[in-house]
Amino acid sequence: MSTDRTARPVRGTHDLLGEELRRHRKVAETGRRIALRWGYEEIVTPIFEHTEVFARSLGDVSDIVTKEMYTFTDRGGDSITLRPENTAGVCRAVITLGLTQNLPQKLFYYGPMFRYERPQKGRLRQFHQIGIECIGAPEPLADAEVIAAGAHILEELGVLEATTLELNSLGDAESRARYREALVRYLEGHRARLSADSLLRLERNPLRILDSKDEGDRAVIAGAPLLEEHLNEASRSFFARVEEALARFGVRWKRNPRLVRGLDYYTHTAFEFTTDRLGAQGAVMAGGRYDGLVRTLGGPDVPGVGWAAGVERLALLLPEAPPAPRPIAIVPIGEAAEAEALTLACALRREGHVVELAFKGRPGQRLKRADRLGARLALSLGESELARGVVRLRELDTGREEEVARTDLTARLLPLIVTIS
């Protein structure tokens, strides 16, 4: 293998092609299609933003901001960051475009995200997410709706059964402040066993420690007081209404009292769809309510709730890969037929068929290539066929052959039109 840098991709990036790309596309397209049905319109935002957009929204002690961002200074001297996630970008766009005049805004996105992480299966440095955001709805019904829409997408992909929805409430600001006190009291007693990162978090954002992946931290966390016991009445009632609506939507979940989200801006509902089929990378879709975010970014005080899902992880989970479209191969025999084949290929493509026409080669070679491409049919035409206005149609799976009049060809091939996504 070449060690030349120009011949290999950057670590943690990946070329997509063939079956892998079809899996990927299926996840993105299904996400878009189902989100649209739930009333979520697609938005495309830039893949880079001013660094402050992420630094301010994600919090300066989050793993993403401290370790994972691709940040650079551009030629104009501005600090720019490749987006590590898209909630901040979508909220920034909602502010920029003045969409807060017309709420709620229900938005879907799909696209690449960038994080400097240790690459492994299901963990890349350039990966893709689909996600939805419902901005401007304070009602618990909104939390339930975004979760149910997510579950619907997973169901449509055939992976819902492979996942568990874990659900928790982080409560409102008052509840979290109360809990924070109890948590800090507990953690102070276990300082010696906490990681350096968590000691820093203990000063700045102790709740974040609950999300730590460090083994020593995890052992301490196992004995920590539960958030649930510190929720005030308003937070409890909010969560109860989320649960009621979820039950209405037919969504099943498991309460996980230790689930917190890694980001500063979350309030109330936090959730994650996890799977045990992807090894250590178990989270496929994760989100929650982020009521303070739009204001943090300099917009009005507008609440929000949403989720993001890892497209590569979902693609790995798909029970089967979508099949490649099977082309119709045209096999001309002789010069006159070569010319006619161009006309025929063009006409069939306009009718919606996938058509393969090789640039050169003997009929035998062309048939071999057709076979390799998984062609369903070969249409051959030589002098005699031209003269009689017919083509020879060969079904490549069975070897069955028939002669079809050119005038009947459209009707004969109609059932074979495949929609390509």
CB-nearer residue toward ligand ATP: 86 or 169: 86
Q: Is 357 helix (H, G, I), strand (E, B) or coil?
A: coil
CB-nearer residue toward ligand ATP: 179 or 266: 266
CB-nearer residue toward ligand ATP: 232 or 296: 296
Closest separation in Å from C-beta 266 to ligand ATP? 11
**182-188, long-range: CB within 8 Å, 24+ apart, which pairs?**
182/225, 182/230, 183/207, 183/209, 183/210, 183/224, 183/225, 186/223, 186/224, 186/225, 187/220, 187/224
Q: Is 251 helix (H, G, I), strand (E, B) or coil?
A: coil
Helix (H) or strand (E) holding 70: strand 70-73
CB-nearer residue toward ligand ATP: 118 or 360: 118
The count of residues in the chain is: 421
**Footprint of ligand ATP (CB under 6 A):** 85, 115, 117, 122-124, 127, 129, 262, 281, 283-286, 308-310, 312-313
Could you tell me the end-to-end alpha-carbon distance of the chain, in angstroms, rounded to an integer?
34
Q: Which residue is nearest to ligand ATP (CB)?
A: 310
Per-residue tokens: 32: 């878009």
Q: Is 350 helix (H, G, I), strand (E, B) or coil?
A: helix
Closest separation in Å from C-beta 117 to ligand ATP? 5
Q: 328 pairs with which residues across the strands?
A: 355, 377
CB-nearer residue toward ligand ATP: 284 or 328: 284
Closest separation in Å from C-beta 288 to ligand ATP? 9
How far is residue 193 from each of residues 64, 139, 184, 187, 221, measured CA to CA in Å? 23, 40, 14, 9, 10
Closest separation in Å from C-beta 228 to ligand ATP? 21
CB-nearer residue toward ligand ATP: 90 or 409: 90
User: Which of 59, 57, 55, 56 minimizes the C-alpha distance to 69?
Assistant: 55
**Side chain identity at 248, as an amino acid letter?**
R
Count of beta carbons in the 10 Å neighbourhood of residue 358: 16
DSSP 263-322: STT-EEEEEEEE-SSSTT--EEEEEEE-TTHHHHTTS-S--EEEEEEEHHHHHHH-SSPP
Q: 329 pairs with which residues across the strands?
A: 356, 378
CB-nearer residue toward ligand ATP: 85 or 385: 85
CB-nearer residue toward ligand ATP: 124 or 357: 124
**Side chain identity at 74, as an amino acid letter?**
D
Closest separation in Å from C-beta 260 to ligand ATP? 10
Closest separation in Å from C-beta 194 to ligand ATP? 19
Structural contact between residues 278 and 122, judged by C-beta atoms closer than 8 angstroms: yes
Closest separation in Å from C-beta 283 to ligand ATP? 4
CB-nearer residue toward ligand ATP: 169 or 380: 169
Closest separation in Å from C-beta 87 to ligand ATP? 9
Closest separation in Å from C-beta 309 to ligand ATP? 6
